[in-house]
């Protein structure tokens, strides 16, 4: 069951990444149509990536997704360990 939760969480993350990529490409295309050069678009992107406030907002926006993945992985690991105890005389 826990492995299924990990897979489901990873699929949700992949779906979110797909949407983000599409949004990014649509935004870039809009900038090009508005007359921005490739260099200007890259500069806008570089500045946004380096902005500490945007980094903080990104961490906050995806904190739940990260926590869900960490929890799912932890439960999957516990499930695997509990289903496969060490041989007699050995410890985990």
47-76 pLDDT, tens digit per residue, is 999 999 999 999 998 888 888 888 888 888
Q: State which residues form the domain around 55.
A: 2-82
Q: Is 89 helix (H, G, I), strand (E, B) or coil?
A: coil
Q: Is residue 48 part of a domain?
A: yes
Q: Is residue 53 part of a domain?
A: yes
What is the model's pTM?
A: 0.65
Q: What's the mean pLDDT in 73-85?
A: 82
Q: Is residue 42 part of a domain?
A: yes
CA–CA separation, 44 vs 42, rounded Å?
A: 5
Q: What is the DSSP letter of 86?
A: P
CA–CA separation, 24 vs 13, rounded Å?
A: 16
* Contact between 83 and 23 (Cβ < 8 Å): no
Q: Is residue 89 part of a domain?
A: no
Which helix (H) or strand (E) segment holds residue 3: the answer is helix 2-33
10-56 pLDDT, tens digit per residue, is 898 899 899 999 999 999 999 999 999 999 999 999 999 999 999 99
* Contact between 13 and 65 (Cβ < 8 Å): yes
Predicted confidence at residue 92, as pLDDT, reads 57
Number of domains in the chain: 1
Q: Is residue 72 part of a domain?
A: yes
79: which 2 tokens? 């499930």
């Amino acid at each position: 069951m826990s492995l299924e939760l990990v897979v489901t969480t990873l699929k949700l993350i992949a779906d979110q990444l797909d949407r983000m990529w599409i949004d990014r490409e649509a935004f870039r295309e809009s900038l090009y149509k508005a007359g921005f050069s490739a260099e200007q678009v890259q500069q806008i992107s570089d500045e946004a990536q380096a902005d500490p406030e945007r980094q903080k907002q990104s961490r906050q926006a995806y904190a739940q997704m990260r926590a869900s993945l960490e929890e799912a992985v932890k439960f999957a690991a516990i499930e695997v360990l509990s289903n496969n105890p060490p041989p007699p005389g050995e410890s985990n």
